[in-house]
Amino acid sequence: MLKKLVILNYALVDHIEIDFRPGFTVLTGETGAGKSVVIGSLLLTLGGRADRDFIRHGENKAAIETTFELAGSPPLKRNIEKQLNNSMENGLRLKRELSLSGSSRAFINDRPENLNTLKELSSHLADFHSQQGQRRLLDIEKHIGFLDSFAGLDKKAEILHSLYADYIAIDQRLSQARNNAAAMREKLELINFQINELTGADINPGEEDRLDNDRKRLESVRTLMETGQTIITAISEADEAVLTVLSQLDRMLRQASKIDDRLEPEAKLLSESVINLDELSRNLQSYLSRLEDNPQRLEEINARLAELYRLRRKYDTDEVGLLDKLEELKKQSLGADNIDSLIENLSEKLAEARTSYHLLAIEVSEKRRKAAHRLEKKLITELADLAMEKARFKIDCQTELDDNGFDLDGEKVKAFPHGLENIEFLISTNPNEPLRPVAKIASGGEISRIMLALLTVIAGKYKLPTIIFDEIDTGIGGRTAIKLGQKLKELSKKHQIITISHLSAVAAMADHHLAVDKTLSGKRNIITITEVKGSALKKELARMSSTD
């Protein structure tokens, strides 16, 4: 529900904070006191049109902020938290700022957001009805939602929408497959060729490095042999071989160490060098015995490296990336060896999706038509209580013929996300006048009363927690005003109701009464708002009675 409204430097308001509570709240005041300014500022935070002319004279900026409490509606709270990826434990704050430069900024919980996001979010929070405001009743696309709420079909309508989306998605894929069969065959052929190419390459991570080392060795085998043999000769085979000379020196130093034991470490070090050189010579001889000059193996390695290089360059990746590409290609193949099997698979899925949608659409259509008759009767009764006793109301279930559509009552009709028919509310407010669309025949006051009658019938099933009426009682009085107040009171048991009223009979039914006044502060008028109770409430109701 709406919990708080803060207005700063807007029209004749310098700074006002209004706390709202559950139930029925009424705003009253003399004509021109500023009631519409309050409602207009509230509408602005719900995504209404911004006008810099409403910035208070002498100020550079105006700001309006509303706070909504979501704890009473856990599903709505969860959906908004998911949408904004933020906790709503402290409520949801919607804010608009206007500046003299003409710019308008929107904020959600102090975070800048685009206006479309704010509008979409607020559409789940509050409904606004006025002579000039947003009125869902005038939007034909919303009529089917009212009927579904009354009939208890909201969940089935959501499922139907999802089934339609699945059906359309599969149909589009199938049409694309058929219309571009040649291109898709070529694409699948290429995908399958690449799969076979990469599969046949038998790629192993690290293989290229290993092969590159083998290639370098085979290309330099003669150099390696010459280097190894030169070292062996110098160490142990030459006339003045290093090992021969060191062995002689080793014997001499070991004899000397027997004379002076302080030479024992040096003798040991020299002996170890002789041993190491002898081991080095033998190791090199073993290495040279295994070293092979194999031009055929070199050719095989070069061919394999060339193939791996070609594949890496072709797919612009490394060995691991080639393996990832192979898995990606397998997924792209859709498990289909050719376009024909793909088309067959999609055709089967389309038939299943079409059947699922059609069965539910027929069920929903039947329930809608039965509910439409009940809603018509209830609404006519409610309208009679609101001084529209001559009104006739009809719910028009419209279908569009389509040769490729779905069977309904022996005809082929077009399918929509919401089902096999469109719904439009028709009304005649005067005797002997034909039924016509609500938007073309009803006045602003009548629109609000029709909406109130509709909400009374579907109270509790209507999804929006807060409903705002601007001057719903225009053009009525007496017994009708009492009925109107009673219906607003009854509706407030299921929804938070906020309305501007000029009638004491309506205001007397309210749970909370806010009096709007225009007072002189210094040399300028400002708008003030006071919650009236007790004697102050009696005084305000008496004032209203004198003008009824």
- Separation CA 232–CA 16 (nearest Å): 101
Q: Count helices and strands (H / E) in the chain.
A: 18, 17
| Residue 144 contacts residue 424 (beta carbons within 8 Å) | no
Q: What is the pLDDT of residue 130?
A: 65
Tokens matching residue 336 = 């289909």
Which residue is it, tokens 């691991």? 320
| Residue 201 contacts residue 311 (beta carbons within 8 Å) | yes
- 3-class secondary-structure state, position 292: coil
pLDDT in tens, the chain (548 residues): 899 999 999 988 889 999 999 999 999 988 888 888 888 888 888 888 888 888 888 888 999 999 988 877 777 777 777 777 777 777 788 999 998 887 788 898 888 888 888 888 888 888 887 655 445 677 788 899 889 989 999 999 999 999 999 999 999 989 888 887 777 677 777 888 888 888 888 888 888 888 888 888 888 888 888 898 999 999 888 878 898 889 899 899 999 988 988 999 999 999 999 999 989 989 999 988 888 888 888 888 888 888 888 888 888 888 888 888 888 888 777 555 567 788 889 999 999 999 999 999 999 999 999 999 999 999 999 888 888 888 899 999 999 999 999 999 999 999 999 999 999 999 988 888 889 888 776 566 677 788 888 888 887 677 778 888 887 777 777 788 888 899 899 889 888 999 988 889 999 999 999 999 888 877 788 888 999 999 999 998 998 887 66
Q: What is the pLDDT of residue 134?
A: 45
Ramachandran region, residue 334 (left: φ > 0; alpha: ψ -120 to 50; beta: rest): left
Ramachandran region, residue 460 (left: φ > 0; alpha: ψ -120 to 50; beta: rest): left
Q: What is the pLDDT of residue 520?
A: 80
3-state secondary structure 56-98: CCCCCEEEEEEEECCCCCHHHHHHHHHHHCCCCCCCEEEEEEE
Q: What is the pLDDT of residue 183?
A: 74
| Residue 117 contacts residue 80 (beta carbons within 8 Å) | no
- Separation CA 468–CA 499 (nearest Å): 6
- Separation CA 416–CA 164 (nearest Å): 7
Nearest residue to 284 (alpha-carbon basis) of 237, 240, 225, 243: 225
Mark out the alpha helices in 238-333 (DSSP H runs).
242-259, 264-290, 295-315, 319-332
Burial class (CB in 10 A: 0-12, 13-18, 19+), 516: buried
Cβ neighbors of 441 (< 8 A, separation 6 or more) are 427, 428, 429, 433
Q: What is the DSSP annotation of 158-181?
A: HHHHHHHHHHHHHHHHHHHHHHTH
Q: Are strands 496-500 and 24-28 parallel, antiparallel or unpaired?
A: parallel
Which residue is it, tokens 């609404």? 379
Q: What is the pLDDT of residue 467?
A: 87
Q: What is the pLDDT of residue 472?
A: 77
- Separation CA 218–CA 213 (nearest Å): 9
| Residue 456 contacts residue 486 (beta carbons within 8 Å) | no
- Separation CA 149–CA 472 (nearest Å): 23
Distances (CA, A) of 103 to 6, 407, 481: 20, 52, 42
CATH fold of the domain at 1-125+464-548: Rossmann fold (3.40.50)
Which residue is it, tokens 């279908």? 399
Burial class (CB in 10 A: 0-12, 13-18, 19+), 43: buried
Name residue 154's amino acid.
Answer: D
Let me know the angle formed at the C-alpha of 424 by 420 and 430, rounded to the nearest 5 degrees: 155
- Separation CA 371–CA 157 (nearest Å): 14
| Residue 90 contacts residue 108 (beta carbons within 8 Å) | no
| Residue 88 contacts residue 78 (beta carbons within 8 Å) | no
Cβ neighbors of 274 (< 8 A, separation 6 or more) are 243, 246, 247, 250
Nearest residue to 242 (alpha-carbon basis) of 277, 267, 270: 277
Nearest residue to 249 (alpha-carbon basis) of 261, 237, 241, 259: 241
Q: Which helix (DSSP H) or strand (DSSP E) does residue 208 occupy? A: helix 207-219
| Residue 459 contacts residue 150 (beta carbons within 8 Å) | no
- Separation CA 475–CA 490 (nearest Å): 22
- Separation CA 459–CA 451 (nearest Å): 11
pTM score, two decimals? 0.63
- Separation CA 141–CA 311 (nearest Å): 56
Q: Which helix (DSSP H) or strand (DSSP E) does residue 38 occupy? A: helix 35-45
DSSP letter assigned to residue 25: E
